Amino acid sequence: MKHKLETLALVSGLGLSLVCAGCDRTISKEERTTVGSDGSVKTKEKTVTEKADGTVIKTEETRKTEPAKP
């Protein structure tokens, strides 16, 4: 019985390490929102992530929402 528990613990630990090895890590995330004089909302988001192999990726996304017109 003790041997089965040790084997189960070893397999669980190995499986968990394999799952976490492929994850990207967020280094920084910045979001700025501005409202224009016409009521439009502009959001700018910058994200820096590090992949599992050490590659650093910078992503920049801009969204603009226009106000509803009657």
Give the DSSP per-residue string, 1-70. Answer: -HHHHHHHHHHHHHHHHHHHHT--EEEEEEEEEEE-TTS-EEEEEEEEEE-TTS-EEEEEEEEEEPPPP-
For the segment 4-53, what is each residue's pLDDT rounded down to a tens digit? 667 666 556 655 555 555 688 999 999 999 999 888 999 999 999 999 88
pLDDT score at 20: 54
Dist. CA 34–CA 59, nearest whole Å: 19
